[in-house]
């Protein structure tokens, strides 16, 4: 989603702004722009499409100035054109924005009635005009900003520069993330710390409602006001983030590289939670599962939600704990019944997803223990939750989640084991056996990846399809859901996943010779039932592709192919078959020629609801 950079410096900032934006590209965007102040004018350059288009323009017409703001826009209000690209500006003020101004229509109508002319279709543009009006009334820059943002409803992070005062850069946030980067002779704003990392690792995470006024005088200073306009001190963190540009390391796409990293990331995640020699769980997990009335609520969006669906099987079967799973976007608005015995787990790769973060704050305000399972240590969720557990996947650049998803599964599985142990449902011997199975998973994933050409062939075949169906039972059902989502996201093929037992209740009407079925069918306790469902679909003329470890399995159909995967236990299968569906989606997209790492319309970090 939208990314923000702001720089106040003694040096030219034009190229640095673009450099900062390049580190926000992973978030997903469809236009970009920068603005600087020079010789008492606001200079802007904006372009639709990729950052390269903006770079090309700036190369031809460099923007001079030592204060500036930059933006990558993920279109919400108004199409992804140059006109709608940020920064938005009047003669005196320029603004970049991440979030949505929900009451923009009312504000816009009021401004239009006062003869204000709008240049774009965006919600953001109201912000510049509001500030401009306050400045015209002779108010100071600080008051003009504070009074303008008081009129805004919705979520925003804003960076603002002023024609008449090139020594000031202002940042403010409500709902959307914004960090302040500090150096002796430069100050920065960024949507995340990673975007600022090559410049400074001295970071201050602005809190909800904070406004930072950054000034250049004989030295560089800043003041932070909280939501009540009180001057506050915020902690400054010294981070230790990698600064090198993310590299594909010889792979054709980040997604493929990240798929191949899974043996390592799964091992790293597992070993952060268990002792591989004693086969015990490290006793540092932040949840007291001994409370008999405890209920677990798992809340997330997208793939992270599917990780939660998988975890429900584990918590209920292994630990016998009632566990409910919710989409964050539904949970936050449906007035959920929560009580102080509820432990709410929020699962998020980015730790920034707006709906999940809002759901977390809701549960926290209702007195529940909140635990974030996140891949980004300093993310908003990690900082907002009472406790957090890290998935050790490392930075994930591909928009389609792969290694972060499987690391989430690993954390959730160990947590369910820990819960079962705390409730004395399983003994140490069973825990050791379970951990042994988990320790084998990286090796199984490597075996799957050794035969990747099979997925290439299947991907070639699927790339001709317009629709596809995925089925699975038990824990294979969330794998099917994840497979369908991955395929949709990167190949744009319409795919749906069903619990195999549900087919007859409607979806079987979709079956025809043009709609391939992909069945997740390891030879487990659900296999016989799934096999019957596959047979029913084959009989009705669908091409059938089965992921299985059962070499005997065969059905008569117009087209039938099995991909054999390693024989493993039910828990390891969740990881093995997930890796398989990731590879299928990857090769299908590759053969279709779609943008694997930055698929259309999608964002890595979904910071609007
Ligand atoms: C996964 O491939 C997707 N890009 C998406 O569904 C993602 O899982 C979802 O937006 C949630 O993101 P989060 O894990 O960062 O909260």
589-604 confidence digits (pLDDT tens): 999 999 999 898 888 8
- Say how many Å lie between the CA of residue 209 and the centre of ligand 1: 26
Question: CA-to-CA distance for 294 and 420, rounded, in angstroms?
Answer: 13
Residue nearest to atom 10 of ligand 1 (CA): 302
Q: What is the pLDDT of residues 42-83, one digit of tens each?
A: 999 999 999 999 999 999 999 999 999 999 998 888 999 999
| Residue limits of CATH 3.40.50.10490 in the chain | 247-450, 452-592
- Report the 10 Å Cβ neighbour count for 518: 27
Looking at the chain, the number of H-run helices and the number of E-run strands are 18, 27
Centre of ligand 1 from the C-alpha of residue 513, in Å: 32
pLDDT at 587 over 70: yes
Per DSSP, the residues of 196-256 read HTTT--EEEEPPTT-EEEEEESSSEEEEEE-TTS-EE----EE-----SPP--TT-SSHHH
Nearest ligand 1 atom to the CA of 401 is: 2
**443-463: pLDDT as tens digits:** 999 999 999 999 999 999 999
Residue 341 and residue 554: Cα distance in Å, rounded?
Answer: 49
| Least confident stretch, 251-265, 270-284, 565-579 | 270-284
User: CA 563, CA 418: separation in Å to the nearest integer?
Assistant: 34
Instruction: Tell me which of 304, 374, 393 to substitute to probe ligand 1's pocket, judged by most ligand atoms within 8 Å of the beta carbon.
Output: 304
Tell me if 400 CB under 6 Å of ligand 1: yes
Is there an atom of ligand 1 within 6 Å of 373 CB?
no
Atom of ligand 1 nearest to the CA of 605: 15
548 CA → ligand 1 middle, Å: 27
Q: How far apart are CA 477 and CA 470, in angstroms?
A: 9
CATH of 3-245 given 3.60.20.10, 3.10.150.10, 1.10.3720.10, 3.40.190.10: 3.60.20.10
Stated pTM of the model: 0.83
Q: How far apart are CA 478 and CA 310, in angstroms?
A: 6
pLDDT at 239: 84
| Ligand 1 contact via 349 beta carbon (within 6 Å) | yes
* Topology classification of domain 247-450: Rossmann fold (3.40.50)
Cα 305 to middle of ligand 1, angstroms = 8
Q: Which of 90, 224, 210 is nearest to 162 (CA)?
A: 90
Catalogue the active-site residues. Answer: 2, 604
CA of 604 to the centre of ligand 1 (A): 7
Q: What are phi and psi of 606, to 5 degrees?
A: -95, 90
Q: What is the mean pLDDT of residues 71-98?
A: 94
Residue 407 CB–ligand 1 contact under 6 Å: no
Please identify, by atom number, the ligand 1 atom nearest to the C-alpha of residue 602: 4
d(CA 217, CA 568): 65
pLDDT (average), residues 94-116 = 94
Atom index in ligand 1 nearest the CA of residue 404 equals 14
Predicted confidence (pLDDT) per residue in 207-246, tens digit: 989 999 999 999 999 999 999 999 999 999 998 777 766 6
The two tokens of residue 346 are 């929020």
Q: Within 13 A of 36's CA, how many CA atoms are on the CB side?
A: 23
72 lines ligand 1 (CB under 6 A): no
Contact 187, 220 (CB under 8 A): yes
Q: Is the pLDDT of residue 364 over 70?
A: yes
CA nearest ligand 1 atom 3, residue: 400
- pLDDT tens digits along 486-525: 999 999 999 999 999 999 999 999 999 999 999 999 999 9
Asked whether 528 and 572 are in contact (CB, 8 A), the reply is no
Give the whole-angstrom CA distance, residue 465 versus residue 428: 49
CA distance 223 to 61: 34
Sign of CA pseudo-dihedral 203, 162, 17, 99: positive
Q: Verify whether ligand 1 is closer than 6 Å to residue 302 (CB atom).
A: yes
| Substitution site in 255, 298, 303 for ligand 1 pocket (most atoms within 8 Å of beta carbon) | 303
Enter the DSSP assignment of 102. Answer: T
What is the CATH architecture of 452-592?
3-Layer(aba) Sandwich (3.40)
Contacts of 528 (CB under 8 A, 6+ apart): none
All residues at 6 or more sequence positions from 18 whose CB lies less than 8 Å from its CB, including other chains: 34, 51, 54, 55, 58, 70
Q: Ligand 1: does its nearest atom lie under 6 Å from the Cβ of 606?
A: yes
Ligand 1, atom 16: nearest CA belongs to which residue? Answer: 348
Tokens for 464?
A: 């001709």
Question: Which pLDDT belongs to residue 449?
Answer: 96
Q: In this structure, what token pair is assigned to residue 593?
A: 């020629």
Closest approach atom of ligand 1 to CA 604: 4
Which part of the chain has CATH 3.60.20.10? 3-245
Which residues are paired to 546 by β-bridges? 519, 562
């Amino acid at each position: 989603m939208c990314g923000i950079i702001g720089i106040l410096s003694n040096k030219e900032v034009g190229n640095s702004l673009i450099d900062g934006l390049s580190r926000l590209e992973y978030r997903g965007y469809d236009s970009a722009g920068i603005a600087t102040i020079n010789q008492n004018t606001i200079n802007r350059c904006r372009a639709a499409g990729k950052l390269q288009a903006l770079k090309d323009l700036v190369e031809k017409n460099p923007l001079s100035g030592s204060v500036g703001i930059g933006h990558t826009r993920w279109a919400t209000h108004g199409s992804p054109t140059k006109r709608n690209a940020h920064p938005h500006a009047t003669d005196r003020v320029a603004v970049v924005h991440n979030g949505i101004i929900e009451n923009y229509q009312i504000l816009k109508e009021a401004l239009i009635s006062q003869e204000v002319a709008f240049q774009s279709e965006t919600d953001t543009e109201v912000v510049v005009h509001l500030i401009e009006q306050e400045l015209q009334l002779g108010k100071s820059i600080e008051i003009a900003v504070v009074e303008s943002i008081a009129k805004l409803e919705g979520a925003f992070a804003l960076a603002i520069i002023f024609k008449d005062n090139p020594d000031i850069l202002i940042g403010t946030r409500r709902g959307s993330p914004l960090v302040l980067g500090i150096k002796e002779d430069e100050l920065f704003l960024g949507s995340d710390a990673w975007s600022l990392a090559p410049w400074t690792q001295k970071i201050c995470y602005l809190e909800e409602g904070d406004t930072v006024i950054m000034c250049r005088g004989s030295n560089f200073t800043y003041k932070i006001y909280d939501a009540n306009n009180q001057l506050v001190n915020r902690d400054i963190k010294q981070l230790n983030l990698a600064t090198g540009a993310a590299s594909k390391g010889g792979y054709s796409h980040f997604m493929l590289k990240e798929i191949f990293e899974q043996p390592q990331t799964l091992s790293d995640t597992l070993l952060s939670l268990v002792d591989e020699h004693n086969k015990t769980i490290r006793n540092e997990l932040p949840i007291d599962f001994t409370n008999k009335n405890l209920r677990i609520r798992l809340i997330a969006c997208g793939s992270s939600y599917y990780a939660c669906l998988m975890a429900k099987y584990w918590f209920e079967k292994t630990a016998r704990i009632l566990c409910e799973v919710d989409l964050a976007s539904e949970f936050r608005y449906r007035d959920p019944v929560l009580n102080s015995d509820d432990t709410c787990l929020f699962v998020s790769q980015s730790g920034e997803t707006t709906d999940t973060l809002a759901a977390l704050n809701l549960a926290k305000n209702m007195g529940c223990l909140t635990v974030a399972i996140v891949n980004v240590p300093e993310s908003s969720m990690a900082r907002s939750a009472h406790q957090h557990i890290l998935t050790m996947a490392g930075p994930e650049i591909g928009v389609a989640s792969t290694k972060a998803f499987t690391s989430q599964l690993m954390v959730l599985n160990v947590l369910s084991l820990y819960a079962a142990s705390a409730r004395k449902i399983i003994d140490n011997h069973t825990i050791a056996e379970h951990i042994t199975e988990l320790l084998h998973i990286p090796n199984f994933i490597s075996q799957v990846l050794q035969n990747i050409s099979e997925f290439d062939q299947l991907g070639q075949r699927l790339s001709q399809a317009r629709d596809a169906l995925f089925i699975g039972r038990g824990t294979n059902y969330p794998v099917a859901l994840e497979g369908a989502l991955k395929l949709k996201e990167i190949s744009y093929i319409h795919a749906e996943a069903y619990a195999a037992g549900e087919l007859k209740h409607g979806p079987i009407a979709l079956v025809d010779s043009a709609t391939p079925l992909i069945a997740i069918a390891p030879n487990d306790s659900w296999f016989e039932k799934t096999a019957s469902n596959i047979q029913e679909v084959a009989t009705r003329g669908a091409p059938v592709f089965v992921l299985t470890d059962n070499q005997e399995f065969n059905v008569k159909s117009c087209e039938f192919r099995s991909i054999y995967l390693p024989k493993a236990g039910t828990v390891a299968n969740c990881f093995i078959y997930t890796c398989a569906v990731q590879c299928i989606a990857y090769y299908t997209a590759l053969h279709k020629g779609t943008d694997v790492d930055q698929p259309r319309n999608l964002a890595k970090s979904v910071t609007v609801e």
